[in-house]
Amino acid sequence: MDEIVQTISAQYPCREQLIRNLYQYYGTGDPFPPAVYLYGHTSTGKSVILRSFFALLKHTKYAILNAIECYTNKILFESIINRLENHVPSASNRYASLVNADCMKDFVAHLQRLSDDFGYVIVMENSERVRDMDHNVLPMLMRLPEITGLNISVILVSDLPFEKYYIRTGLSPIIKMFTAEYNKSEILVILKNDFPKIHDKLRTILEKAKDSKGIPLAEEELQRRLKMLSTLTPEFYENYLSIFLSVFFKVCRDLKELQLVAMECYQKYCEPVLDGSIEQNDVQKLWRHISKTMKTALGTIYMRMGNVNQNMIQCTTTVDQPSEAVEQPSTMKRLAQTLELPFYAKYLLIAAYLASHNAAKEDKRLFMKNHGKQKKRMQSVIAKAKVSEKMATQLGPKSFTVDRLLAIFYAILDDKVGLTCNLLAQISTLIHLKFLIFASGEGSVMDGSARLQCTVGMDFIVHIGKMCGFNVRQYLCDFF
């Protein structure tokens, strides 16, 4: 295997097949394919691997652009030429582009002037935006070798399948490469590689730590904690990650979010070990210590609420700390009050939570006035005698359809409101904020085929309900 593949595979584990495919098309010295479509879910390593791969290739010039920034043809064409020629607009050149390309003809003419001693690669991130440009842009990009006579290739990077967003006539054949989501074992491998970086950060936090009076820790205490930190092994961190992923993997598959929350929770997980109150091999006590923190973090995983979220789960060194049972509801209340959502979006979020944590067969009894009488049978009485671990609110969110979401929304809303584009746009907003995530049928909210999950926690949704004057618990099967 080539040295380039080995180098990048070491940097980005669990993506060796993607790197091998890229090397097969671009690293062997053969002519490049005219166009490649690389797609897959967000946070699966597509962009970072492309940057690292082409940076190591010799005799290849590349340009990486974001189609969102190139909102006109002129900006797109000039940006490509500038980056292929390593020209950076700056104050010294009055922020001028290297060339003036107002149309496709000018763009092709400038490409034809490039040296044929090099191979050229154009990487377009968020490439689905190209379909909103002139109709000739996408077909021409996919046929650049034929038009220019250069060894040039275009890589279209997107989160969406090619067949769904590029159903047009006249498109040239394209090589499709799919990047699957990381599975649980792969995420564990990647997170384990963060161990040195996370311990360096913990060391920095400890050196700046203060006691309950705001005074820096005594040198003796600081050295004792730093010594304890140095005894924490990669196996200790791997045990923590196994606990962490058992809680978070069902709700979140986004690697960046998991890395962020894993770091924040790990600070809290290490706290009793560093102060000597719990032995590092006592997994049971460590789990009891971290469980409430993880539950709180699970309800705010996608919110990015800034200092509020940071203060909630950061590593503290004070002796007199408030109980987490008291701290968590007040924190959730602040989060709910800080979040500025439209009125109907709040009810949509409540409806989504109810749909995620109630069985579909219970909807008629919960939301219809004349649902008929329910016979009390022994098996139903036994089924309702649930322990905490078997409650639907503890087992995690289940998927639901958009039709069911809207049905519950209209059932709990007193006002009569029509099904407008504005209302559907608020569902998309909740998805964009990561309060709702796709379980299947991603990108198809409007046609009703998508299945969604609600990511917010119980405490947060209860406070949202109080702000709307709505009792969420009254409509959850776990509480009656």
Residue 174, domain CATH:
3.40.50.300
- Whole-number pLDDT of residue 305: 47
Average pLDDT, the chain: 82
Using pLDDT thresholds of 50, 70 and 90, give the confidence band for residue 304. Answer: low
Using pLDDT thresholds of 50, 70 and 90, give the confidence band for residue 220. Answer: confident
Claim to verify: residue 330 and residue 363 sit in the same structural domain:
no
- Res 350 pLDDT > 60: yes
**Structural domain boundaries, residue 326:** 184-337
- Res 382 pLDDT > 60: no
> How is 89-109 classified by DSSP, letter by letter?
--GGGTT--SS---SHHHHHH
Claim to verify: residue 80 and residue 205 sit in the same structural domain:
no
Which tokens in the block code for residue 85? 């020629």
Claim to verify: residue 165 and residue 196 sit in the same structural domain:
no
Claim to verify: residue 46 and residue 84 sit in the same structural domain:
yes
Least confident of 13-27, 53-67, 163-177, 224-238: 163-177
Claim to verify: residue 143 and residue 232 sit in the same structural domain:
no
Claim to verify: residue 315 and residue 193 sit in the same structural domain:
yes
Claim to verify: residue 281 and residue 348 sit in the same structural domain:
no
pLDDT tens digits, one per residue of 242-296: 999 998 888 888 888 898 889 889 988 998 998 888 988 898 899 988 988 887 7
SS3 118: coil
Claim to verify: residue 355 and residue 474 sit in the same structural domain:
yes
Claim to verify: residue 233 and residue 255 sit in the same structural domain:
yes
Based on the structure, what is the number of domains in the chain?
3
Distances (CA, A) of 184 to 145, 245, 297: 41, 7, 19
Claim to verify: residue 18 and residue 162 sit in the same structural domain:
yes
Last residue of a domain, one of 337, 369, 386: 337
Last residue of a domain, one of 120, 145, 179: 179
SS3 296: helix
Helix (H) / strand (E) element for 156: namely strand 152-158
CA dihedral angle for residue 3, residue 8, residue 14, residue 19, rounded to 10 degrees: -70
Using pLDDT thresholds of 50, 70 and 90, give the confidence band for residue 333. Answer: low
Claim to verify: residue 433 and residue 369 sit in the same structural domain:
yes
Last residue of a domain, one of 337, 366, 394: 337
Claim to verify: residue 137 and residue 247 sit in the same structural domain:
no
For the chain, percent of residues with pLDDT exceeding 70:
82
- Whole-number pLDDT of residue 172: 77
Give the CA count within 13 Å in the CB-facing half-sphere of 447: 6
In this prediction the pTM is: 0.68
